[in-house]
Copies of this chain bind each other. A is one copy, B any other.
């Protein structure tokens, strides 16, 4: 059974839930808090979601699907050079991380709270996204743009990028694109100094 974020009402509720989950954490966010934020009573919540877990799953599903869409679009919009694909992927990654920040923070921090079924379903989604990355990394390795172990490089890169949610300030001076480019510069050989 899929989670289905179809209804617009439900989509809005999911967005609000994501915000609260980030602020308070999943466990400390009560159904009463969620309901109040949504302008309804706690009982009404269970008309839209089977239980609290399903709200969490909806939040994470929304974020991961957006990430997939954005990454695919970014890749389809750029040429076949390993370098531009790497740049595009890094930029796309940071773009979702910031526009759907709440959902992604929840995915990173509250993944363990998912029940086994939801974890399996969303795990496949995440794998689909990560395989996009490995494809791009493979290209970059093949053309000598970067060196090292395929597995390790992709994990290091994703770690560096995902970690940004812990320190990046959207109101600061740096744009997401600058971050992405700086990361690519750091891991690629040969390029001139910026």
Once the chains bind, are B25 and A113 in contact (CB under 8 Å)?
yes
**Is there contact, CB below 8 Å, between B153 and A186?**
yes
Give the segment of A37-45, A73-81, A141-149 that binds chain B. Answer: A141-149
* Stretch of A1-9, A11-19, A55-63, A154-162 lying at the B interface: A154-162
A64 smallest CB distance to B (angstroms)? 16
Chain A residues touching B, majority SS = helix
Q: Which of B27, B155, B186 is within 8 Å of A148, CB to CB?
A: B186
Count residues of A near B (Cβ-Cβ below 8 Å).
34
Task: Tell me which of B27, B149, B156, B193 contacts A28 (CB under 8 A).
Answer: B27
Extra inter-chain contacts (7) besides given A148-B186, A153-B186, CB under 8 Å = A25-B113, A27-B28, A147-B194, A152-B183, A155-B164, A156-B186, A187-B187
